[in-house]
Amino acid sequence: MDHYYQKLYDYIGEILVLPQRDKDHIRQTFEPVFAPKDTILESAGQVPQYHNFIVSGYMRTFHLDADDNEVTTDLNDGPRFFTSYNHFMHQTVSNDTLHCITDCELLRINRADVEEGAHSSLTQKDYTILILQKHIEEYKTRINDMATLTAEDRYRKFLIQKPTSIQHVPLSYVASYLGITQRHLSRLRREILV
Report the C-alpha gap between 162 and 86 in whole angstroms: 24
**Which pLDDT score, from 0 to 100, does residue 22 have?**
92
**Which pLDDT score, from 0 to 100, does residue 194 have?**
47
Q: What is the pLDDT of residues 43-95, one digit of tens each?
A: 999 999 999 999 999 999 999 999 999 999 999 888 999 988 889 889 999 99
- Please state whether the peptide bond connecting residue 48 to the residue before it is cis, i.e. omega within 30 degrees of 0: no
pTM comes to 0.89
Residues of the chain with pLDDT under 70: 193-194
* Domain parsing of the chain, residue ranges: 2-121
Class of domain 2-121: mainly beta
Closest CA to 56 of 1, 132, 13, 109: 1
Report the C-alpha gap between 31 and 4 in whole angstroms: 10
Bridge partners (DSSP) of residue 58 are 77
Report the C-alpha gap between 24 and 169 in whole angstroms: 34
**Which pLDDT score, from 0 to 100, does residue 127 have?**
86
